[in-house]
Amino acid sequence: MMVEEQRWRAVQDRTRTADGAFVYAVRTTQIYCRPSCPSRKPLRGNVEFFVLPEAAERAGYRACLRCPRMARPLWVLWPRGSAPAPSICSASSSVISAFRRANMPMLAGSPG
């Protein structure tokens, strides 16, 4: 797991490989972004980090309009060694993402 200073460096450098590992949220704008977002760089004191976009949303932040919805693949929800085939989970994630893009949140809820 990345520590805060590593996360901050990834935001400053717009490190694409950090996308999916965490999101950062800006208190003054109430927006969260992926590390590689091309938006204006925030002041460090206004930033807080979240492992999942959903956690940022629960904390009252909304997604950046420049960043695509950052959903984790479904296979990370299963215990190690018991996950269904990644291709099935990838397809399910694609369907959920399509519903979200179509603005159909009640159909895009997490399976389970």
Looking at residues 16-44, what average pLDDT do you find? 93
Against a cut of 0.85, is the pTM above it?
A: no
Q: For 4-63, CATH number?
A: 3.40.10.10
Q: For 35-61, how does the pLDDT look when each residue is reduced to its tens digit (9 = 90+)?
A: 999 999 999 999 999 999 999 999 999
Phi, psi of 91 (to 5 degrees): -65, -45
pLDDT score recorded for residue 57: 93
67 is known as an active-site residue? no
Looking at residues 21-37, what average pLDDT do you find? 94
Looking at residues 25-32, what average pLDDT do you find? 96
Amino acid at 31: I
Catalytic residue among 33, 64, 67, 89: 33
| Cα distance between residue 3 and residue 53, in whole Å | 17
Pairwise pLDDT comparison (84 vs 95), residue with the higher score: 95
Looking at residues 65-72, what average pLDDT do you find? 64
In this model, does residue 15 exceed pLDDT 80?
A: yes
Find, among 102, 82, 84, 103, the residue nearest to 92 by Cα: 84
Domain ranges of the chain: 4-63, 71-112
